[in-house]
Amino acid sequence: MCHPLPLTGVDITFEVEDAQTISFRIQVKTTGVTGVEMEALTAAQTVGLTIYDMCKAFDKDRVLGPAYLEQKQGGKSGDYVRYNM
């Protein structure tokens, strides 16, 4: 997706909150040492654009975002957990 990493898993979950809101979460796994959060963020934007493309015929006012990193384990910079969600 973003970097040439050996991905070992990608999981996408969706939740339709109401007629205007679809939330989704991307989980990406790799045996590589860095960059996997960029793969997840790239996947999230691609999913959002795909949903927009499917809905644009009846609603061009859809808004994408926010997209953010919730959690990351390992890599050069170590673990990360977003606390202000």
Q: Which residues are catalytic?
A: 53
Distance between CA atoms of 70 and 50, rounded to whole angstroms?
21
The pLDDT tens digits of the residues spanning 45-55 come to 999 999 999 99
In the 3-class helix/strand/coil scheme, how is 22-80 assigned residue by residue? EEEEEEEEECCCCCHHHHHHHHHHHHHHHHHHHHCCCCCCCCCCCCCCCEECCCCCCCE
The two tokens of residue 74 are: 């390992």
The pLDDT tens digits of the residues spanning 4-53 come to 888 999 999 999 999 889 999 999 998 887 778 989 999 999 999 999 99
